[in-house]
Amino acid sequence: MAQPLVKKDDDRDDEADYSPFLGIEKGAVLQEARVFNDPQLDPRRCSQVITKLLYLLNQGESFTKVEATEVFFAVTKLFQSRDIGLRRMVYVMIKELSPSADEVIIVTSSLMKDMTSKTDMYRANAIRVLCRITDGTLLTQIERYLKQAIVDKNPVVASAALVSGIHLLQTNPEIVKRWSNEVQEAVQSRAALVQFHALALLHQIRQNDRLAVNKLVTSLTRGSVRSPLAQCLLIRYTSQVIRESANNTQTGDRPFYDFLEGCLRHKAEMVIFEAARAITELNGVTSRELTPAITVLQLFLSSSKPVLRFAAVRTLNKVAMTHPMAVTNCNIDMESLISDQNRSIATLAITTLLKTGNESSVDRLMKQITNFMSDIADEFKIVVVEAIRSLCLKFPLKHRSLMNFLSNILREEGGFEYKKAIVDSIVILIRDIPEAKESGLLHLCEFIEDCEFTYLSTQILHFLGIEGPKTSDPSKYIRYIYNRVHLENATVRAGAVSTLAKFGAMVDSLKPRIFVLLRRCVFDNDDEVRDRATLYLNTLGGDGAVVETGEDVKEFLFGSLDIPLVNLENSLKNYEASEEPFDINSVPREVKTQPLAEKKAPGKKPTGLGAPPPGPPSTVDAYEKLLSSIPEFANFGKLFKSSAPVELTEAETEYAVNVVKHIFDGHVVFQYNCTNTIPEQLLENVIVVVDASEAEEFAEVASKPLRSLPYDSPGQTFVAFEKPEGVPAVGKFSNMLRFIVKEVDPSTGDAEDDGVEDEYQLEDLEVVAADYMLKVGVSNFRNAWESMGADGERVDEYGLGPRDSLAEAVNAVINLLGMQPCEGTEVVPNNSRSHTCLLSGVYIGNVKVLVRLQFGLDGPKDVAMKLAVRSEDEAVSDAIHEIVASG
Amino acid sequence: MFTTESSISVLIARGKRGSDLSPNTSNMESCPSVKNVLLLDSEGNRVAVKYYSDDWPTNSAKEAFEKSVFTKTQKTNARNEAEITLFENHIVVYKFVQDLHFFVTGSEDENELILATVLQGFFDAVGLILRGTVDKKEALENLDLILLCLDEIVDGGIILETDANVIAEKVASHSIDAGAPLSEQTISQALATAREHLARSLLK
């Protein structure tokens, strides 16, 4: 057998690349396959040829249909031989060839004979081969043998039948499901693997029957499952049962937890790990439940086997995301893994540590990471950089060492994504940690001296323009910026010119020197650079001319643009060149969260008569157009805000109605979006009758009924109220849908002529203070807060009473105020005892409002809150407090 | 920043957990499964490979996977203990001996230790079959046995057997006459058979 199968090629050096298959060729091997037809079979030779055929297939060679068929027919001849070794190869070969249905018939009888053979090996393999190649019709013929095989005393035969059953369940479930009794018996088998295969098949047969799975798990967790693999399966099924029953038993002891915990003391490592992982993934797992699982995982961390260490650290890494405190006990073991030979383990250890680390360990950690950074891939480095950024925000006092680390790795080799992650991190740190500003800016300046990425250079230049002039010594940045004008491409040069101009505009002492530099840029060979230089020289008065440009222009050129760019882009697209100049104040400031609706031709829309627009418009733009197209509402002025739709009906009722509140300066319009879900009805003259007796400041001025509301075609009806101008009036409105209903013949779609008047009670609707607040974010809350000044500030403290969690309290206040959370502060870290949340918005009358909320837990559940409001108008600051006080 | 990221990952984790409740995916999720078993040489060429999943539909996709797994693991020291890595959302466990590289791949959510058990079973079984002389030359000369070995370890992704002795016993039951029950064979018999087999090949 070990004899070279093909004659060695004499030209080749036989020491170096010796292989028995050297020079093998498909055509020749197919020729050789003729020996299968010899009347006197030579089993060894036939085996060799099959091995060659399998070798070819394994190397990726493919046979044509004809070749495959020929080989298949030749191979079937080999069933005549009684040689076991050859028969084994024949089985493997038939599976590899995956014959077609008409070919299968040829071998069926031979395989069925083997299936009933006295030789166990024949039975086991014949079952696997036959089940692999058979189709449903044949299956009924052999079903009897398969059922017998499942309970065969030979474990190999039983496993073969059970595994085949698992595969067949996908294609012929109805047949396999009839084997339940036999499979159930096999679950009790003394052979480990049989038990494993039987359990897998039994569960799959019953998986859609929750009760049966529950019973299976209950009985098996009490008994003893012998095979570790079967035990792992049982743990998975148990977790599934726990998951599905979790809804009913929120409190008290979790069912089956004791079983999982017991598995932590199993002798097989795979079972221990499976159980530990299952516990960490339990829904809403408590620290008490976690502890034993963490303990065994911690032991795995110091194992000599890399696989164990990897499995443990990967699981702990996931736990650290939700329960960082639970993992801190493992920190010492985790730190030794930073130098692990296996880089996957080291990276997982680092990121886990960065999530759980405390302030005192930061320096040590950074030292270890520095050694480790050079030999991991960029994708891992990005993970590390992001983890370091979070760490720095968590421990601002450590900014010096963390910032140094970032600037060091910024100087090393790396791709764009990696560099961008570092730059983004430095920018965020500069923004959030004032002490880190100057050193951070200098690091960035050094970086752009030698930066190959245009995008990063321009981003940094822009950022320098904003932050640089506010530092103690702005002049030191000028050199870095002006170098760009000499050394870089046009895009970066243009960016540098703008940045220089910003320094000139904001720092008077630098102005003359900036003019000198800008004048040099006027001769640049790129027109954009020249244009910018000229524009800035003119606006800043650098060419000796009297500066007549107003503050507006300066504000526009150098101030921060507080309009969402998407909105500006849309408004500019819609702007048609005319006598009237584009007014930037007309750009909506609301941050859009929904995707833009399809644009409709403006002005020409039929006003809901006959052909109602399909579906409610979902954006401010669309709302604005819709409302201005209705003559009754045309004189209400500029739309201030439209709320998100509020449902006024339960889901799946006869008529689905939701309402959008449109706030104008002196008016409020309710837009009721109605859908008729009854195919046999047509509604006409649909109107909502609103009772405003609980909303004293509101008076109904107009309403717009919906002429007709056919099945499943949404339409709108409107009601408008007048309210005192600029006042955030609140109130409660009760609603009644009134309409004429006509029967529709579903077959023809024709409605009867006569209708009946009917009413349908809707839920109440409230206009709340949050409706007068626009969600408008600010890019840098700290700057905005400071520039607003303390004049209009109002501070007070409130007790919010017992709350489920801090996060719940934070959300409640955000929703009450209807403001935009800034800098991700709406998210409360798990287990924290205090939290600061920053909000920004624009109050009716276009008054900017900033809010700083400080929450703290007072006792086990009571939440206390300090509310600081700054706005341009003290009255508005008071109003915000009033909202909270009354909310 | 920190909290946002972690809460997103929590959401993702929850989403995943939700999905294995659906009947379509639960089959493969709940039963440990192997996506492929690879035996490559020291240059990353195939000695014997077997795929059980549709993740690599074409031969070129398979070869690309083998090449990148080989390159990624090449420099690691997986000679004493099995090593492990996370690669293109797959867990790959691997072990090397001489000029042979053994790999077992499973899904990202698979229990790493189960995959390692499969790898160890394959590795040790090959060692028994080749009677301790485990290298590429010997493996190719006994390719029929290696292929039978793969056939006995995993069937269509489901683990069939992980005990190296049992696997080697099944594979080596070659020249026993038909009719002799397999269960009566012992390991020493199996090894004797293998030894005889080798002696025969050397005499040729």
- Summarize pLDDT for A141-151 with one digit per residue, the tens: 888 888 889 99
Q: Which of A154-168, A551-565, A594-608, A694-708 has the highest mean pLDDT?
A: A154-168
Q: For position A620, what pLDDT does the model report?
A: 67
Mean pLDDT of B187-196: 64
Residues 6+ apart with CB under 8 A from A282: A239, A242, A254, A257, A289
Q: For position A109, what pLDDT does the model report?
A: 84
* 3-class secondary-structure state, position B134: coil
Least confident span in A215-224, A299-308, A382-391, B180-189:
B180-189
Query: Residues 18 to 47 of B: which have CB under 8 A from any A CB?
Result: 20-21, 23, 26-27, 30-32, 46
User: In chain B, which residues have their Cβ closer than 8 Å to the Cβ of A193?
Assistant: 160-161
Q: Which of A711-720, A799-808, B90-99 has the highest mean pLDDT?
A: B90-99
- Does residue B195 belong to any structural domain of this protein? yes
For A307, which of B7, B82, B180 is closest by C-beta distance? Answer: B82
User: In chain A, which residues have their Cβ closer than 8 Å to the Cβ of B140?
Assistant: 19-21
ipTM above 0.90, yes or no: no
Q: For position B203, what pLDDT does the model report?
A: 57
Query: What is the count of residue pairs from A and B with beta carbons less than 8 Å apart?
Result: 207
Percent of chain A clearing pLDDT 90 (strictly above): 8
Q: For position A347, what pLDDT does the model report?
A: 85
Q: For position B49, what pLDDT does the model report?
A: 93
* 3-class secondary-structure state, position B133: coil
In angstroms, the separation between the Cα of residue A342 and the nearest Cα of chain B is 8
CATH of the domain at B172: 3.30.450.60
Mean pLDDT of B3-17: 36
Q: Fold for domain A593-767?
A: Immunoglobulin-like (2.60.40)
Chain B residue with minimum CA distance to A16:
B137
Structural tokens at position A856: 């703290």
pLDDT digits over A554-609, tens only?
A: 666 666 666 777 777 877 877 777 777 777 767 766 654 433 333 333 333 333 33
Mean pLDDT of A426-440: 86
Q: For position A562, what pLDDT does the model report?
A: 66
Chain B residue with minimum CA distance to A823:
B1
Domain A772-886 has CATH 3.30.310.10: yes
Q: For position B204, what pLDDT does the model report?
A: 53
Query: Which of B34, B63, B112 to mutate to probe the A interface, most A CBs <10 Å?
Result: B112
Confidence class of residue A17 from pLDDT cuts 50, 70 and 90?
Answer: low
Asked if A589 contacts A842 with a C-beta cutoff of 8 angstroms, the reply is yes
**b/e A821-857 (16+ beta carbons within 10 angstroms → b):** bbbebbbbebeeeebebbbbbbbbbebbbbbbbebbb
Asked if B131 contacts B195 with a C-beta cutoff of 8 angstroms, the reply is yes
Give dist(CA A257, CA A263) in Å, integer.
Answer: 10
- Best CATH choice for the domain A473-559 from the list 3.40.50, 1.10.10, 1.25.10, 3.30.70: 1.25.10
Q: For position B65, what pLDDT does the model report?
A: 92
Q: Is the pLDDT of residue A552 over 70?
A: no
Q: For position B102, what pLDDT does the model report?
A: 94
Residue A414, CB half-sphere, CA atoms under 13 Å: how many? 29
Q: Is the pLDDT of residue A548 over 80?
A: no
Mean pLDDT of A308-318: 92
User: In chain A, which residues have their Cβ closer than 8 Å to the Cβ of B179?
Assistant: 118-119
Chain A residue with minimum CA distance to B24:
A170
Query: Residues 604 to 633 of A: which have CB under 8 A from any B CB?
Result: none
A252 in contact with B at a CB cutoff of 8 Å? no
Residue A188 is given by DSSP the state T
Confidence class of residue A550 from pLDDT cuts 50, 70 and 90?
Answer: low
User: In chain A, which residues have their Cβ closer than 8 Å to the Cβ of B23?
Assistant: 207-208
Q: Using only the alpha carbons of chain A, give its radius of gyration.
A: 38
In angstroms, the separation between the Cα of residue B165 and the nearest Cα of chain A is 14
Q: For position A506, what pLDDT does the model report?
A: 81
* Domain range list for chain A: 369-452, 473-559, 563-589, 593-767, 772-886
Confidence class of residue B11 from pLDDT cuts 50, 70 and 90?
Answer: very low
Are the beta carbons of B178 and A82 separated by less than 8 Å?
yes
- Does residue B18 belong to any structural domain of this protein? no
B129 in contact with A at a CB cutoff of 8 Å? no
pLDDT digits over A55-75, tens only?
A: 998 888 888 888 888 888 888
- Does residue B17 belong to any structural domain of this protein? no
For A310, which of B84, B158, B202 is closest by C-beta distance? Answer: B84
In angstroms, the separation between the Cα of residue A308 and the nearest Cα of chain B is 7
Q: For position A137, what pLDDT does the model report?
A: 78
Q: Is the pLDDT of residue A374 over 80?
A: no
Q: For position A514, what pLDDT does the model report?
A: 86
- Does residue B58 belong to any structural domain of this protein? yes
- DSSP strand pairing (A706-709 vs A681-694): antiparallel
Q: How far is CA B153 from CA A129, A237, A752, B36, B158, in A?
A: 15, 24, 73, 11, 9
Query: Which of B7, B16, B31 to mutate to probe the A interface, most A CBs <10 Å?
Result: B31
- Does residue B190 belong to any structural domain of this protein? yes
Mean predicted lDDT score pLDDT of chain A: 82
Q: Is the pLDDT of residue B150 over 90?
A: yes
pLDDT digits over A740-783, tens only?
A: 888 887 777 777 878 888 888 888 888 888 888 888 877 778 87
Mean pLDDT of A806-825: 82
Count of the separate structural domains present in chain B? 1
Percent of chain A clearing pLDDT 70 (strictly above): 90
- List beta partners, residue A797: A866
- Does residue B9 belong to any structural domain of this protein? no
Query: Residues 92 to 111 of B: which have CB under 8 A from any A CB?
Result: 93, 111
Supply the range of the domain harboring residue B111: 31-203
Mean predicted lDDT score pLDDT of chain B: 77
- Does residue B3 belong to any structural domain of this protein? no
- Does residue B151 belong to any structural domain of this protein? yes
Are the beta carbons of B27 and A244 separated by less than 8 Å?
no
**Same fold: A473-559 with A772-886:** no
Residue position matching structure tokens 């209708």: A755
Give dist(CA A703, CA A202) in Å, integer.
Answer: 65
pLDDT digits over A62-121, tens only?
A: 888 888 888 888 888 888 888 888 888 999 998 888 777 778 888 888 888 888 888 888
In angstroms, the separation between the Cα of residue B187 and the nearest Cα of chain A is 16
